[in-house]
């Protein structure tokens, strides 16, 4: 079942069973099937054909599919299509907010534009930035951050404001 065609023809119950270990597997199975329906109805099941569309048009089409939001659409475009779309996730938003570079409730587009206006348009660079931000957010800049371990400590507004909470562990 490692081809789009095999997944497309796979019964829903079998797909659900295959992804059962994930959270919300029934909802995810419906989303996978919705994407596959789009792929087969619009591109004869051919990912290469799908990625020949102009990227902005493809993004609009992806966003119209049940279960695909901005982060997922941009992930498909960047990681599978190789297009220079910067992926924004909750880690990215949290890090930029704590650094004092974005308001806490910044929109996806606002955060994405922050990177698009400051970095060269390069899919490999965007991939690397996203991977680094993801790792930082997952391991250090968590909901309860490990500020003393952060490589951005000296730049971080959140750490400065919360220094009293970390006085014994933060360098002076």
Q: CA 126, 139, 107: angle at the middle one, nearest 5? A: 50
Q: Where are the domains of the chain?
A: 4-68, 90-166
Mean pLDDT across the chain: 94
| Per-residue model confidence as pLDDT tens digits over 125-171 | 999 999 999 999 999 999 999 999 999 999 999 999 987 665 555 55
Where are the extended beta strands (E) located within the chain?
A: none
| Per-residue model confidence as pLDDT tens digits over 97-138 | 999 999 999 999 999 999 999 999 999 999 999 999 999 999
Helix (H) or strand (E) holding 94: helix 90-99
The confidence score (pLDDT) of residue 167 equals: 54
Of the candidates 102, 90, 104, the one whose C-alpha atom is nearest the C-alpha of residue 134 is 90
Whole-prediction pTM: 0.87
Fold observed for domain 90-166? Endonuclease Iii, domain 2 (1.10.1670)
């Amino acid at each position: 079942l490692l081809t789009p065609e095999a997944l497309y023809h796979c019964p829903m119950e079998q797909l659900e069973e295959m992804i059962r270990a994930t959270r919300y597997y029934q909802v995810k199975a419906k989303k996978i099937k919705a994407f596959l329906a789009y792929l087969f109805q619009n591109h004869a099941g051919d990912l290469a054909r799908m990625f020949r569309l102009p990227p902005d048009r493809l993004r609009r089409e992806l966003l119209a599919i049940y279960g695909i939001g901005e982060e997922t659409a941009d992930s498909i475009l960047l990681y599978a299509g190789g297009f220079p779309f910067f992926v924004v996730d909750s880690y990215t938003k949290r890090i930029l907010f704590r650094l004092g570079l974005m308001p806490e409730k910044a929109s996806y587009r606002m955060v994405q534009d922050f990177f698009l206006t400051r970095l060269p348009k390069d899919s490999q660079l965007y991939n690397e930035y996203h991977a680094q931000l993801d790792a930082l957010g997952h391991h250090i800049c968590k909901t309860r951050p490990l500020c003393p371990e952060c490589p951005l400590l000296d730049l971080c507004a959140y750490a400065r404001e919360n220094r009293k909470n970390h006085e014994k562990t933060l360098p002076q």
